[in-house]
Structure 1
Amino acid sequence: MTKRIAFLASDARVAQTAREALVARYGHVAPRDADVVVALGGDGFMLHTLHGTQHLNTPVYGMNRGTIGFLMNAYTETDLMSRLAEAEEEVINPLIMTAMDQSGKKHEALAINEVSLLRAGPQAARLRIGVDGRVRMAELVCDGALLATPAGSTAYNYSAHGPIVPIGADVLALTPIAAFRPRRWRGALLPKRAQVRFEVIEADKRPVIVSADSVAFPDIDWVEIRSEPKVEHRILFDPGHGLEERLISEQFT
């Protein structure tokens, strides 16, 4: 059966040109009417597309027309229907973040890759870290810290020297960013069901910004993060090029 496809593209000219060619060849429907959404861009646009279509429960197949393409498949125009028919599906759960800023306002956001806290001034951040209601680190002096999903473990987490986590592992990676004290602390692997709380010590003097993927909030007082199993993102990959294979391959490059 011919699939109804919604083609979405980033603002980059190369992505827009690809979309025009694919729409001319395969047609186009609105995302709400599609059997599959094809995202054209890089990983940033893929995350944007997944967030924007999560209420539809429609699988997303990405083709790389951007800079980074860890979540994307190779771009071609001629055999899309057969590739979609043979594609393998990965289902991932995002993190849900609740944050309170210094004015007392609460913020919520979902993160497919990671939730990160970063210092927003010249002085290092001071963070208190709790897991499931128990303080595990009374003070971490650092540039920041992040909590990453397995799908996001090769992104910012890996750049911060955090571990790559297999896609099937029910764990989250808690990774410090430029830790000053304790200097040798390299982070922790936590159960997927864990609830992590960061409290900002001296928040007025040492301001911190929190980011859930690309959504950011300044002047944070505390942040709570947990996995959200009620939300599922369906991502399609060419056979043999799924997230599990990519996560393993990344460790041998």
Structure 2
Amino acid sequence: MLVVAHTGREEARKVASRVCRALAQHGLAVRLLADEAAELTLDLPDLDVVHPGPAASAGCEIVVVVGGDGTILRAAELTRETGTPLLGVNLGHVGFLAEAEHDDVEFTIDAVVAQQYTSEERLTLEVRVYRDGELVAETWALNEASVEKAARERMLEVVVEVDGRPLSRWGCDGVVCATPTGSTAYNFSAGGPIVWPDVEALLLVPISAHALFARPLVAAPSSVLAVEVQERTDGVGVLWCDGRRTVDLPPGARVEVRRGRTPVRLVRLHQAPFTDRLVAKFDLPVTGWRGAAERRRRSNGVLPEDTA
């Protein structure tokens, strides 16, 4: 098991150490990234220390990630090529990508040891950047690829295209191209829709567009989304992928976004519906809801009618 942690936080170091010791006690081999191993200073038998990179997760059954969604996105860079599933232990504020909370470490380890988990594939984005018709950069994203203005005082002038046809020109702060997984991240903050993870779609959301038509869009997973920074724009743009990888976008640059060929796999310990996850993560008010089971109990006289 590869364990990845946000070692800049003391709590994450403590939880990561607990996870590593618990895994070792169950006879599982533990692997750590070199820089994080130096921070954790664990004395474990047969501890495997490797350098960060796509090969770090090779041969691992699971990558256990201790931290918030940002740490999980960092770990996804290590697992996408190998297909190793990610199990997030949340120490962040919301942690939509995480499956477990830090106070459930024992249950989480027991489930991993007993292999009582499933994994699901999450759609990714393939992102290409062109200048003067020449491909100058190629990267990917799990949550979103966002084209943003580089200077606060300058609006970005862009033309958006879907499947080779122009859609609209916007003066805006930027444009977010997101996956369903990323629909609860930057896309959500920008006013885009929440999309259930098993829906295959590409999302496009303008950021503070100065235009009459600037609505969030949901396109087919086979679509190609493109954002061109206009030559006449006063601003300079920057491409951000998952808030981690950047490419400068001078006037005339073109960004193309399509479905990625390689998904990211996430571990699932619970089979609760995504609706329940939304309610829990956003603390949504559901008082007054009466489900089918409760209605049956009422009709059978098990519950009084005035029960909330």
Question: TM-score scaled to structure 1, two decimals?
Answer: 0.88
Match of 2:86 among 48, 60, 69: 60
Higher helix share: 2
Report if aligned partners of 2:65, 2:89 keep a CA contact under 8 Å in 1.
yes
2:107 aligned partner: 79
1:243 Cα deviation from its structure 2 partner: 5.1
Report if aligned partners of 2:224, 2:257 keep a CA contact under 8 Å in 1.
yes
CA distance in 2 between partners of 1:146 and 1:67 (Å): 22
- RMSD, aligned CA: 2.3
1:171 Cα deviation from its structure 2 partner: 1.5
Q: How does 1:1-253 map to 2 (within 5 A)?
A: 5-11=1-7, 12-27=9-24, 28-29=30-31, 31-72=57-98, 73-75=100-102, 76-84=104-112, 85-100=115-130, 106-121=136-151, 122-137=153-168, 139-182=169-212, 184-202=213-231, 205-213=234-242, 214-220=244-250, 221-228=253-260, 230-241=261-272, 245-247=276-278, 253=284
CA distance in 2 between partners of 1:180 and 1:197 (Å): 19
1:203 Cα deviation from its structure 2 partner: 6.1
The amino acid of 2:63's aligned partner reads: V
Indicate how the Cα distance of structure 1 residues 168 and 24 shifts in structure 2: closer, same or farther if over 3 A, else same.
Answer: closer
Structure number with the bigger relative contact order (C-alpha 8 A, sep ≥ 6) is: 1
Report if aligned partners of 1:90, 1:242 keep a CA contact under 8 Å in 2.
no
CA distance in 1 between partners of 2:87 and 2:21 (Å): 18
CA distance in 2 between partners of 1:101 and 1:250 (Å): 41
1:54 Cα deviation from its structure 2 partner: 1.3
Q: Which stretch shows the higher mean deviation, 73-82 or 123-132?
A: 73-82
Percent of residue pairs bearing the same amino acid type? 26
Structure 1: runs of 5+ lacking an equivalent: none
Higher strand share: 1
Count the aligned residue pairs.
Answer: 246
